[in-house]
Amino acid sequence: MAGRPTTAPGTPRPGMHTLTAGRGLLFGGDYNPEQWPEHVWDEDVELMKAAGVNLVTVGVFSWGRIEPEPGARDFTWLDRVLDLLGSAGIAVDLATPTASPPPWMGHRWPRTLPVDESGHRLWYGARNQFCPSSPVYRERALAIVTDLADRYAGHPALALWHVGNEYGQICHCDDSAAAFRAWLRERYGDLDTLNEAWGTTFWSQHYSDWDEIVTPRRAPYIVNPTQRLDFARFSSDALLAHYRAERDILRERTPDTPVTTNFMGLFKPVDYWSWAPEEDIVSNDWYPDPADPLSPARTALTHDLIRSLGGGRPWLLMEQSPSAVNWRPHNLPKPAGQLRLESLQAVARGADGLCYFQWRASAFGSERFHAAMLPHAGPDTRIHAEVRAHGAELRRLDPVVGTPVPAKVAMLHDWPSWWALEERGRPSDRLDLPDQLLRFYRPLWERGVTVDLARPSADLTGYALVVVPNLYLIDDRDAAALTEYVRGGGVLVVGPFSGVTDPRGHVRTGRFPAPLREVLGASGEEWMPAPEDRPVRCRWADGTGFTARTWTELVRAEGAGTVATFTEGDLADRPAVLRHETGEGVAWYVATIPEPEGLGELTVRALADAGVTGVLPELPPGVEAVRRGPVLFLLNHGAGTVEVPLPQPSEDLLTGSPVHDRVTLAPRAVVALSPLP
């Protein structure tokens, strides 16, 4: 679904630098003035100024206010909002309001409403109720985007475009089915090729006419996995086509204003590798769960992904919550200092902007109990005090603005592989891709080793270590590139159930992982999920042991050395972890899912092979260390006060104080250390 290019190749696009120039780090949030009478707006802007807010996102859900009935336009209120913000020096991230069509659209044109896989139409009354392939939705959305862009092109407050909101709509309606068929025709050309790719000799699924093909709707039993995989690809592309159509209108009218849409981290329905190059700024919404003990590492992984999606460029944390959200069953508040800790974690990992959902807490609607920068109780509150203090201290971090976060380790992640992996009918439903990524990421994070995420086709030559927690689906070229990478001196770690299928989702026959067998110097013949109540015992060569879970494989060494074995049952003494020196490099294969101590040890060994060390030689548990530009960030996510020895005297930019041999970090403390001359 190619859109037309809007910029000549080589023309530099505006980006984060366009926004941070003269402003420094961005600080603000979603602002929904349409929920409040106008006299409140003046107070908002005064309080924003006092809090150091310099960017607000406006208009995300304002379609009904701008177009109260089909074809009408009321921009007068938005004019006043933008003028008010502009005169206060607050930049506006202006949203196209297309994430939430007004009820008139679904009422008059029910085919704009999305249909789920059971054929049920999803109604208006919440948000996101549109079908990305609906011609009426498309036409009406582009019309309002055109008028919005025409109206605000050149407005001094306009700094950034925010297209839609958190794209992720999936639709199974007839319009979607027609668009899916068009997408399939482009992919396969003819029905024979499609039938072969989908393996339709299985269960008599042969298609004899394009019109027989529908989206993978609810069926009596397990639906064709390749049909579903292609539908996932199509759904991501269909949304992208819509995003591009809106973006092109904006770019044409305001070529110097950057465009973004807000991502959601490891969000399954949308392939962000294909989306990110279509944005000028990569932005993300991220809501760590205060009840999740793994949240600091999970968050670091997410931030590293977002930075990597933008090729290492500074990114924007578009939404986070100042405290509790309202959409989990039981919503813990963030303890004092957590808002600051999490926000600075994003800066440390490459964000040049920290925004919240939302500025003023809603008094009505589905999010009336979601925390906000300005709570219902007003400015004289602990949350608002924290917001203000944080907004003020961000001014001290100018030295990091625009600087990169260097990484020597890459972790591969691929959306189509994720989609294919998690289809039904596999050896175990307990293999969960984000969980696998986090398992392999954690020991690196704990050791202060910064990681970039990369797609399998990326150029990996700049990395000393490449970790592949799970790449179930892999194409021949990418497998060959990984092999070359190792031969050329790289170190590769491959997790279980990788290299299983080709891009169609067909199992590669022969011993597994067929396309990586040579580089790994090992191969397997049977995947053997383990009973959940029986931990799998494994042993390193020196006799020490570790525990693994859920998954084992019957593999043998074919040139690799066996560095750990299973100790019990049918697999006793067979390889659990293998290491293969080949060419100039080393390849590791992990035929199980080790618990953290086992993966920790394996990580230490792989890092040694790669000659990679963390940013500090030793880190107390819970302390995150990451270097960004000239600054070393240390963040204490642990519950106790710790001391961290330092290699050189530095200044903590956040306080302006010098620190010498060591720094003491209370729980939730952060330092941003800039070396003293």
Binding site members? 127, 131, 165, 171, 173, 327
Choose among 37, 24, 45: nearest CA to 87. Answer: 45
Transcribe 573-601 into DSSP letters.
Answer: TSEEEEEEEETTEEEEEE-EEE-HHHHHH
CB of 166 to ligand GAL, least distance (A): 5
CB of 447 to ligand GAL, least distance (A): 32
Cβ closest to ligand GAL, residue 31 vs residue 198: 31
What is the footprint of ligand GAL within residues 142-201 (CB under 6 A)?
165-166
Which one of the listed residues 67, 166, 386, 553 is annotated catalytic?
166
What is the footprint of ligand GAL within residues 296-355 (CB under 6 A)?
319, 321, 325
What is the footprint of ligand GAL within residues 225-284 (CB under 6 A)?
none
Cβ closest to ligand GAL, residue 31 vs residue 497: 31
Which one of the listed residues 67, 319, 446, 601 is annotated catalytic?
319
For residue 223 the two structure tokens come to 């639906």
Question: Given CA atoms 602, 606, 608, 611 in this order, what sign does their dihedral have?
Answer: negative
Asked if 337 contacts 326 with a C-beta cutoff of 8 angstroms, the reply is no
**Is residue 370 close enough to count as binding ligand GAL by CB under 6 A?**
yes
Question: Given CA atoms 188, 194, 196, 197 in this order, what sign does their dihedral have?
Answer: positive
Q: Please give the Cα distance from 177 to 216 (Å, whole number).
A: 9
391: left (phi over 0), alpha (psi -120 to 50) or beta: alpha
Give CA 622 to chain center in angstroms: 23
319 is known as an active-site residue: yes
Cβ closest to ligand GAL, residue 98 vs residue 321: 321
Choose among 180, 248, 252: nearest CA to 217. Answer: 180
Cβ closest to ligand GAL, residue 203 vs residue 369: 369
Q: Please give the Cα distance from 414 to 473 (Å, whole number).
A: 9
Q: Please give the Cα distance from 417 to 482 (Å, whole number).
A: 16
CB of 36 to ligand GAL, least distance (A): 16
- As to burial, measured by CB atoms within 10 angstroms (0-12 exposed, 13-18 middle, 19+ buried), residue 227 is buried
For residue 4 the two structure tokens come to 């037309």
CB of 285 to ligand GAL, least distance (A): 5
Choose among 273, 305, 581, 577: nearest CA to 441. Answer: 305
**Is residue 357 close enough to count as binding ligand GAL by CB under 6 A?**
yes
Looking up tokens 């969960």 gives 432
Q: Please give the Cα distance from 53 to 482 (Å, whole number).
A: 46
Q: Which of 161, 287, 418, 588 binds ligand GAL (CB under 6 A)?
A: 287
Cβ closest to ligand GAL, residue 271 vs residue 285: 285
Question: C-alpha angle 433/437/440, rounded to 5°?
Answer: 140
43 is known as an active-site residue: no
Cβ closest to ligand GAL, residue 167 vs residue 551: 167
Choose among 56, 202, 650, 87: nearest CA to 399. Answer: 650
CB of 81 to ligand GAL, least distance (A): 17
Which residue is nearest to ligand GAL, using beta carbons?
Answer: 357
CB of 279 to ligand GAL, least distance (A): 16
CB of 128 to ligand GAL, least distance (A): 10
Query: What's the start-to-end Cα distance of the chain, in Å?
Result: 54
**β-strand partners of 557:** 522
What is the footprint of ligand GAL within residues 99-138 (CB under 6 A)?
none
Cβ-based neighbours of 505, under 8 Å, separated by 6 or more: 225, 226, 229, 420, 423, 473
Total number of residues that touch ligand GAL (CB under 6 A): 10
Dihedrals phi, psi of 578, to nearest 5 degrees? -125, 155
DSSP 8-class letter at 376: T
CB of 328 to ligand GAL, least distance (A): 10
Asked if 309 contacts 640 with a C-beta cutoff of 8 angstroms, the reply is no
CB of 445 to ligand GAL, least distance (A): 25
Cβ closest to ligand GAL, residue 64 vs residue 199: 64
Q: Please give the Cα distance from 145 to 278 (Å, whole number).
A: 17
Cβ closest to ligand GAL, residue 272 vs residue 287: 287
Asked if 308 contacts 453 with a C-beta cutoff of 8 angstroms, the reply is yes
**Is residue 93 close enough to count as binding ligand GAL by CB under 6 A?**
no
What is the torsion angle, in degrees rounded to the nearest 10, for the CA atoms of residue 591, residue 596, residue 598 and residue 604?
110
Binding-site annotation: residue ranges for substrate: 127, 165, 327
- As to burial, measured by CB atoms within 10 angstroms (0-12 exposed, 13-18 middle, 19+ buried), residue 185 is middle
Cβ closest to ligand GAL, residue 67 vs residue 166: 166
Choose among 354, 352, 137, 353: nearest CA to 246. Answer: 137
Cβ closest to ligand GAL, residue 246 vs residue 285: 285
Q: Which of 67, 285, 386, 393 binds ligand GAL (CB under 6 A)?
A: 285
CB of 490 to ligand GAL, least distance (A): 38
Residues near ligand GAL, by CB under 6 A: 165-166, 285, 287, 319, 321, 325, 357, 367, 370
The catalytic residues are 166, 319
